[in-house]
Chains A and B, each alone.
Chain A
Amino acid sequence: DAGVTQSPTHLIKTRGQQVTLRCSPISGHKSVSWYQQVLGQGPQFIFQYYEKEERGRGNFPDRFSARQFPNYSSELNVNALLLGDSALYLCASSLVRGVNNEKLFFGSGTQLSVL
């Protein structure tokens, strides 16, 4: 079975531009989360979607938005890019939500560079 797939793998943008990152969860997984990982740091939570509804949002500005489609795939959008948005963006899916040992399965990420 395919794991979590993300596209594109790498992306270069300039300041002020907009970007859309895509994620396909593992088949049967209904929960998708997005994390930002700046070089040298651990991932930071951006959004969680479950059954196509936003269930949580981290401490990120409104320039960041996301959505989940009926097939449970997800898009992360970032508007008005800043140099500080350069990071690895990780998508994770899980089978269920709300259980203590909910295990996240991560994709390989999209490396975004803002020039």
Chain B
Amino acid sequence: AQKITQTQPGMFVQEKEAVTLDCTYDTSDQSYGLFWYKQPSSGEMIFLIYQGSYDEQNATEGRYSLNFQKARKSANLVISASQLGDSAMYFCAMRGFSTSSGSARQLTFGSGTQLTVLP
């Protein structure tokens, strides 16, 4: 079984500043993937970034980077140069790949962090 913990229910950041959203995970799988999604008030989940457990380098996608610390089982999202449009809910999620996990390959989500960017 997998578990994702996001301990920050809400975060505030000033426009143009960087912000880090925390995510810790727990899994018995040796191979797994970590994802971050953004959910604006419209409801749609928007994919931001992916990190594989065996990837040697931290993932980056434009202003998004993932600070992956495998030994600590953390996968924090860093947003640089925050914009007003970044205000949304952010979810960390994971997918395990062991055969014992079954074949569904579903994502397990955390409870999310509401980010508010201040002008």
Contact = CB atoms under 8 A, between A and B. Distances in A.
Interface of A: 3, 33, 35, 40-45, 48, 55-58, 88, 90, 92, 97-98, 100-109, 111
Interface stretch (B65-73, B77-85, B104-112): B104-112
B106 A33 contact: yes
Contact of A41 (B44, B102, B111): B111
A108 B42 contact: yes
Interface residues of B, number: 28
A42 B109 contact: yes
B104 A57 contact: yes
A54 to B, nearest CB: 9
Contacts of A40: 111
A45 B107 contact: yes
A106 B107 contact: no
A42 B106 contact: no
Interface of B: 4, 31, 33, 35, 37, 42-47, 50, 52, 91, 93, 95, 97, 102-112
Contact of B47 (A55, A56, A98, A103): A103
Given A42-B112, A100-B31, A100-B52, A58 B43 contact: no
Given A41-B111, A42-B110, A108 B105 contact: no
Nearest to A54: B104
B57 to A, nearest CB: 14
A86 B37 CA distance: 22
A57 B104 CA distance: 7
